Structure 1
Amino acid sequence: MTKTLVYKFGGASVKDAPAVKNLAEIIRNRLRNNFVIVVSAMGKSTNQLEAILSLKLANQDFSQNSTILKGFHLAICSELFPEGHVIFPKVENYFIQLQHELNQPISKENYDEYYDRIIGFGELLSSRIVMEYLCLQNLLVLWQDARELICTDSDFRFARVDWGKTRKKCQAQLKPKLEQFPVLTQGFIGSDSKGRPTTLGREGSDFTAAILAASLDAGSVTIWKDVPGVLNADPKIFNDTTLFAELDYQQAAQMTFYGASVIHPKTIKPLANAGIPLFVKSFLHPDEAGTKIHSQAKADPLPTIILKKDQILVSLKVTDFTFIEEKHIHRVYEQLQALKLRVNMLQTSAISISIVIDSQLFKLEQLLSALKKDFEIRYNEGLELLTVLYPDMASFPQLLEGYQVYLEQSTRHTVQIVRRIN
């Protein structure tokens, strides 16, 4: 039997009506049975939903934001569909459901669960609009709610996948459909054992594609981006970038671990374990080769630059004149795990621990509150974490020109710098 192919289209590839039309052209000659399409929310819809949540939490009026978001989706529909098409009442209905959820109480204590109930509307809207447009173009696809397939725990906003249950559902529910029709579904979202919506972490649609591919024993996954493939730096920030024609799983995983945004960090492992190749290609130039990530690729020690913005440096100093011991590090990581905070960089000295973390709503104040009895704490916000893999030390000073350096760390093949522009 023909192996399943999985295509994932991110927010930029469905950001407006021309982008949706381009998506249809990409799959027009590729569509067949045993074909899964995973789509993200349109454009910056997730950011807009997060802004609505912030206003809701602050007891401020968010009605104008909701109206703008609704208008954005209806305007796209107006360019894609004839007047009176079924998509218009469907979009209206999603916003009625969204408003109903937004009428529910929110607090710091239930924020993560509330976030997951709200944020998935971006993917639901996007997938419904794209599915209806493909059908309008005589590209018949079935719509599938990913929450019926992706089973997770109840760790809201960072849910962990129940691989056994997810595979069973994909084999029992999705596979029979795929034998008859292509299927379109959402990235990023799942549900826990009680049927409550969960999410897989920000930008988690890539991970959804990998989960479905591994659960279906797929032949390949293709992620469609606004870049030619995997580059050695973000072309929006750095000049003279170089395309990797291929990467092995380990090197690709290392890049995502340090924050390379082209692929979600959890994507590589399930594909590597199953031996499923991953292609990263440009939706602007779909016939170009892009990057192939697979087990047979040779490691390429090309200097690779990864920049993470909006970072916080937290320095924790012991107050009882002892030296840093394992118990101190354990205490810090215990709180980080409780708050679902990932350490992007760690450095210890005789009397202090320094960690670099992403900025997240409420999390810093909760971390400080939990650790202030054990440590003297200082922190700096609004920083950047620059990571260079296989650095070319001759050109390295250029990366620091005009910046103040807060922390620096190097190993045999990696240099990390915490910096802020002067």
Structure 2
Amino acid sequence: MAKTLVYKFGGASVKDSDAVKNLAKILRNRLRKRMIIVVSAMGKTTNGLEDILSKKLKKEDFSENSSILKAYHRRICTELFPAGHAVFAQLENLFTQLNNKLEQELNRENYDEFYDAIVGFGELISSRIVAEYLCSQGSIVLWQDAREVIHTNSDFRFARIDWEKTKRSCQAIWKPILENFPILTQGFIGSDPKGRPTTLGREGSDFTAAILATSLDAGSVTIWKDVPGVLNADPKLFLNTRKFDELGYREAAEMTYFGASVIHPKTIKPLANAGIPLFVKSFLDPEASGTKIHENVSAHEVSTIVLKKDQILVSFKVTDFTFVEEMHIHRVYEQLQALKLRVNMLQLSAISISIVIDAQLFKLEQLLEKLKSDFEIRYNEELELLTILHPKAAEIPKFLDGYEVLLEQASRNTFQVVRRKV
């Protein structure tokens, strides 16, 4: 019996009507039973919903933002469907639900839960439009709500998967459907034990594909991107990038750990544990080979460059003339864990602990508040963290030219620098 295949299409691959038509073209000769299609929100919809939340939190008028977002999706539908198609009523219903939710109270205390309830609408709207379009073109798919099978805890915005419960739901609810029809669903979203919407972290749709694949013992996962495969650097930021034809799970995991944006960091581990290959292919050139990530691939020596923007450098200095000890590190990490903050770089000295974290709303001030009685704290915002894997010493100076270096560290295989433009 053929195994289930999982395809994931990101926001760029459904950003407008032409993109949706291209997705349908890709699926035309590939769609079959035992296939799951995972779609992200269209284009920059998630950013748009975050902007609405930001305005609401500041008690500013967000009605124009909401209208623009609705008009954007309606325009896509107008270009894909005839007037009077059922998708227009579905779109209206989803935006009514969204606006009703936005009328509820939002404050700092309930922000994360409110965020998950709002931002997930991007995927719900996108998946409805794509499913209806595929069916209108004669490709029969069944729309399914990912929240029915992706079970998480209640760590809103960074929910952890309940793997056992998720696998049971996938096997009981979706496996029988897949015997007869392909399923189209949403990435990024799940639900907690009380049925409340949760999200898996920004760009979490890749992770959704991996969760579903491992829960259903899939044959492979394919992520469709606007790049030809996994490259050694972001082509939007760096010249002369090179594509990897193959990557081992471990090397791919290392790249995502340091922030390579082509794959969500949590995607590799479950696939590696289950031995499920991951393909990264271009939706602009679907017949090209792309990159295959699997077991038993020799490590590459080509330098891989990862740039993370909007970083914060925080330094905690011990105030009682003692040296940094394990209890100081534990105290800092305890608060980082409580705030669900991930450390992108760590450096210790005799009297201070320096960390680099992503900028997140409220999180820095909450961290400072929790630790100000234990340390003297200093921080810098709006920085970049550059990581080079397998660095060549002769290449490093060009990445520092024109920048002030705030922190730097190197090992045999990794060079990292926190920098800002001068």
Q: Which residue of 1 aligns with 2:141?
A: 141
Q: Which residue of 2 aligns with 1:288?
A: 288
Q: Which residue of 1 aligns with 2:51?
A: 51
Q: What RMSD, in angstroms, separates the aligned Cα atoms of the two structures?
A: 0.4
User: Which consecutive residues of structure 2, in runs of 5 or more, have no partner in the other structure?
Assistant: none
Q: Which residue of 2 aligns with 1:337?
A: 337
- Displacement after TM superposition at 1:299 (Å): 1.2
Q: Which residue of 2 aligns with 1:261?
A: 261
- Displacement after TM superposition at 1:9 (Å): 0.1
Q: Which residue of 2 aligns with 1:194?
A: 194
User: Which consecutive residues of structure 1, in runs of 5 or more, have no partner in the other structure?
Assistant: none
Amino acid at match of 2:374: D
1:419 aligns with 2:419: yes
- Displacement after TM superposition at 1:148 (Å): 0.2
Kindly provide the CA deviation profile for residues 203-261 of structure 1, in whole angstroms up to 9, marking residues without a partner as x: 00000000000000000000000000000000000000000000000000000000000
Q: How many residues align?
A: 422
1:299 aligns with 2:299: yes
Amino acid at match of 1:122: G
Q: Which residue of 1 aligns with 2:310?
A: 310
**Aligned mates of 1:251, 1:65 — CA distance in 2:** 41
Q: Which residue of 2 aligns with 1:41?
A: 41
**Aligned mates of 2:142, 2:331 — CA distance in 1:** 49
**Aligned mates of 1:389, 1:135 — CA distance in 2:** 45
Kindly provide the CA deviation profile for residues 162-199 of structure 1, in whole angstroms up to 9, marking residues without a partner as x: 00000000000000000000000000000001000000
1:327 aligns with 2:327: yes
TM-score normalised by structure 2 residue count? 1.00
Amino acid at match of 1:17: S
Q: Which residue of 2 aligns with 1:251?
A: 251
- SS at 1:77 equivalent: helix
- Displacement after TM superposition at 1:133 (Å): 0.1
**Displaced runs of 4 or more, over 6 A:** none
- SS at 2:395 equivalent: coil
- SS at 1:13 equivalent: helix
Amino acid at match of 2:359: S
- Displacement after TM superposition at 1:396 (Å): 1.2
- SS at 1:70 equivalent: helix
Identity of paired residues, percent?
Answer: 73
- Displacement after TM superposition at 1:297 (Å): 1.7
- SS at 2:394 equivalent: coil
Amino acid at match of 2:401: E
- SS at 1:395 equivalent: helix
Q: Which residue of 2 aligns with 1:96?
A: 96
- SS at 1:260 equivalent: coil
Amino acid at match of 2:370: A
- Displacement after TM superposition at 1:371 (Å): 0.5
- Displacement after TM superposition at 1:296 (Å): 2.5
Q: Which residue of 2 aligns with 1:362?
A: 362
- Displacement after TM superposition at 1:412 (Å): 1.0
- SS at 1:334 equivalent: helix
- SS at 1:48 equivalent: helix
Amino acid at match of 1:86: A
- SS at 1:107 equivalent: coil
Q: Which residue of 2 aligns with 1:389?
A: 389
- Displacement after TM superposition at 1:287 (Å): 0.3
TM-score normalised by structure 1 residue count? 1.00
Q: Which residue of 2 aligns with 1:13?
A: 13
- SS at 1:394 equivalent: helix
Q: Which residue of 2 aligns with 1:204?
A: 204
**Aligned mates of 1:23, 1:227 — CA distance in 2:** 15
